[in-house]
Structure 1
Amino acid sequence: MNHLFKDSRFVRFFASRTSANIADSIYSVVLLYFVQQSTQSVAFTSFTYTAVSAAAIFSFLVGPLVDRYSPALLASLALFAQGVLILAVPFLIQDGMINLIAVLLIVFIASCFSTLFYPANSKMLPLLIRSPDLIIRANSVISSTDQIINIAGYLAGASIIIAIGMKNTFFLASGLLFLAGAIYVRLSKQIDTRSTEPRDSGNPLQLRPYLKELQEGYTFVKNHTFLRVMLPFFALTNFSIAILIITIPSLAVSYGSPIYYSLLYIAYFIGMFMGSFLVNVLKKSGATIAASWVAMGIAIYLFSIVPDIWMKLSAAMMLGLFTGVISVLQTSLIQIITPLPLMGRVTAFMSTMSSAALPLGALIGGALTLRFALPDVLFFSALITALCGVFMFISKGIRQFELPTAERSEESVVQSTEEAG
Structure 2
Amino acid sequence: MWVLLRNKPFIKLFLGKIASNIGDSMYAIAAMWLVYELSHSAFYTGLAGFLTKTPDVFQFLAGPFIDRWSLRKTLMLTQLCQIILVLIIPIVHYTGNLHVWMVLLIMPIISCIQQFSYPAQTVALPKLLKKDDLVKGNSLFSFANQGIDMTFNGIAGVLISLIGAVTIYLLDSIVFMVAFLLFWSLPSFKTEEKEKKGKQTLTHAFNKYARDLKEGFQYVFQSIISKFFIATIIANFSFGVALAVMPVYADFRGGSTIYGFLMGAFSAGFLIGALLSSVAGNFPLGRTMIITYLFSAALWISSAFLPWDIPAVILYGISLIPLGATQVLLAATGQRIIPDSLLARVFSVISSLSSAAMPLGFLIGGSLGTVLGGQLVFAIGGLGMLSISLVWFIVSDLRRIPRVSDIHAEVYGLSKTVD
Structure 1 39/234 Cα, relative in aligned 2: closer, same or farther at 3 Å? closer
Tell me the equivalent position of 2:411. Answer: none
Question: Is the 2:241–2:378 Cα contact (8 Å) retained in structure 1?
Answer: no
In the alignment, structure 1 residue 215 sits paired with structure 2 residue 211: yes
Question: Is the 2:52–2:111 Cα contact (8 Å) retained in structure 1?
Answer: yes
- Percent identity between the aligned chains? 23
Q: What is the alpha-carbon distance in structure 2 between the residues aligned to residue 250 and residue 163 of structure 1?
A: 19
Structure 1 350/68 Cα, relative in aligned 2: closer, same or farther at 3 Å? farther
Equivalent residue letter for 1:278: L
Tell me the equivalent position of 1:266. Answer: 264
Question: Is the 2:228–2:398 Cα contact (8 Å) retained in structure 1?
Answer: no
Equivalent residue letter for 2:231: F
Structure 1 80/390 Cα, relative in aligned 2: closer, same or farther at 3 Å? farther
Query: Which 5+ residue runs of structure 1 have no aligned equivalent?
Result: 405-414
Structure 1 230/120 Cα, relative in aligned 2: closer, same or farther at 3 Å? farther
Residue of 286, 297, 302 corresponding to 1:300: 297
Shift of 1:65: 2.7
Structure 1 89/107 Cα, relative in aligned 2: closer, same or farther at 3 Å? same
SS in 2 for 1:194: coil
In the alignment, structure 1 residue 387 sits paired with structure 2 residue 385: no
TM-score (normalised: structure 2): 0.73
Tell me the equivalent position of 2:315. Answer: 315
Question: Is the 2:216–2:346 Cα contact (8 Å) retained in structure 1?
Answer: yes
Equivalent residue letter for 2:57: I
Structure 1 116/4 Cα, relative in aligned 2: closer, same or farther at 3 Å? same
Q: What is the alpha-carbon distance in structure 1 between the residues aligned to residue 162 and residue 254 of structure 2?
A: 26
Structure 1 100/318 Cα, relative in aligned 2: closer, same or farther at 3 Å? closer
Equivalent residue letter for 1:17: K
In the alignment, structure 1 residue 357 sits paired with structure 2 residue 357: yes
Question: Is the 2:46–2:365 Cα contact (8 Å) retained in structure 1?
Answer: no
Structure 1 122/211 Cα, relative in aligned 2: closer, same or farther at 3 Å? same
TM-score (normalised: structure 1): 0.73
Q: What is the alpha-carbon distance in structure 1 between the residues aligned to residue 74 and residue 286 of structure 2?
A: 32
In the alignment, structure 1 residue 205 sits paired with structure 2 residue 202: yes
Equivalent pairs, count: 401
SS in 1 for 2:58: helix
Equivalent residue letter for 2:109: I
Question: Is the 2:157–2:260 Cα contact (8 Å) retained in structure 1?
Answer: no
Out of 373-382 and 175-184, give the one that drifted further: 373-382
Structure 1 332/200 Cα, relative in aligned 2: closer, same or farther at 3 Å? farther
In the alignment, structure 1 residue 240 sits paired with structure 2 residue 243: no
Q: What is the alpha-carbon distance in structure 2 between the residues aligned to residue 189 and residue 403 of structure 1?
A: 45
Q: What is the alpha-carbon distance in structure 2 between the residues aligned to residue 184 and residue 290 of structure 1?
A: 46
Q: What is the alpha-carbon distance in structure 2 between the residues aligned to residue 194 and residue 397 of structure 1?
A: 45
Structure 1 256/140 Cα, relative in aligned 2: closer, same or farther at 3 Å? same
Shift of 1:33: 3.9
Tell me the equivalent position of 1:88. Answer: 88
Shift of 1:383: 1.9
Structure 1 315/158 Cα, relative in aligned 2: closer, same or farther at 3 Å? closer
Structure 1 396/389 Cα, relative in aligned 2: closer, same or farther at 3 Å? closer
Structure 1 360/38 Cα, relative in aligned 2: closer, same or farther at 3 Å? closer
CA RMSD of aligned residues (A): 4.6
Question: Is the 2:155–2:260 Cα contact (8 Å) retained in structure 1?
Answer: no
Q: What is the alpha-carbon distance in structure 2 between the residues aligned to residue 48 and residue 162 of structure 1?
A: 21
Q: What is the alpha-carbon distance in structure 2 between the residues aligned to residue 115 and residue 123 of structure 1?
A: 13
Q: Deviations over 1:155-182 (max 9, x none)?
A: 3325545777766532432333343345
Write out aligned runs for 1:9-408 (5 A). 9-69=9-69, 73-93=73-93, 94-96=95-97, 100-125=100-125, 128=129, 130=131, 135=135, 138-157=137-156, 160=159, 169-184=168-183, 187=186, 189=188, 194=192, 202-206=199-203, 208-220=204-216, 222-223=218-219, 230-246=228-244, 248-249=246-247, 252=250, 255=253, 259-279=257-277, 281-282=278-279, 291=288, 294-305=291-302, 308=306, 309=308, 312-328=312-328, 349-365=349-365, 377-378=380-381, 380-390=383-393, 394-395=397-398, 399=402, 401=404
Equivalent residue letter for 1:149: I
Shift of 1:392: 8.6
Q: Deviations over 1:95-128 (max 9, x none)?
A: 447x543443232222111122233334445664
Shift of 1:298: 1.8
